[in-house]
């Protein structure tokens, strides 16, 4: 999924309006190096888990559900902005039918606090394990 103009505005306003803004590197002429982060966890019935991360530079933000056990389960996968004061993830891009290998993609036009979130969409019959790979700049 690619962010719409309205969603992009929401992402950037939320990231830019945070009370804990992240620094933007002074030298934007240097090519950005992708940052890869891995998050593992357990998702319970009717549960949700958010994983915050800091985007340091403008560029693509990708969240991939790289592993889920059991492999045939459908869950929700989303990308959003993180509010460090409330410890909440404001969802911007969502996939309510994510299987293993599903990806959500957005673009950050500013540095800020973002988050990846997994959640039960009403299909879990027991707790599951998952792994997310997040790539950003």
**pLDDT tens, position by position, 46-83:** 999 999 999 999 999 999 999 999 999 999 999 999 99
Does 5-20+34-136 carry CATH code 3.90.25.10? no
**Strand order from edge to edge, sheet including 59-69:** 35-43, 128-136, 59-69, 103-108
d(CA 70, CA 14): 35
The tens digit of pLDDT for each residue in 22-45 reads 444 545 677 889 999 999 999 999
Predicted model pTM: 0.79
């Amino acid at each position: 999924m690619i962010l719409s103009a309205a969603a992009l505005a929401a992402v950037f306003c939320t990231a830019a309006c945070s009370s804990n803004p992240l620094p933007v590197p002074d030298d934007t002429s240097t090519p950005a190096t992708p940052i890869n982060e891995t998050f593992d966890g357990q998702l319970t019935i009717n549960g949700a888990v958010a994983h915050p991360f800091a985007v340091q530079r403008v560029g693509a933000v990708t969240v991939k559900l790289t592993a889920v056990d059991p492999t045939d389960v459908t869950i929700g996968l989303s990308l959003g902005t993180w509010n460090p004061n409330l410890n909440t993830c404001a969802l911007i891009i969502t996939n309510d039918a994510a299987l293993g290998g599903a990806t959500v993609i957005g673009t950050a036009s500013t540095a800020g606090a973002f988050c990846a979130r997994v959640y039960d969409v009403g299909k879990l019959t027991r707790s599951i394990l998952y792994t997310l790979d997040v790539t950003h700049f």
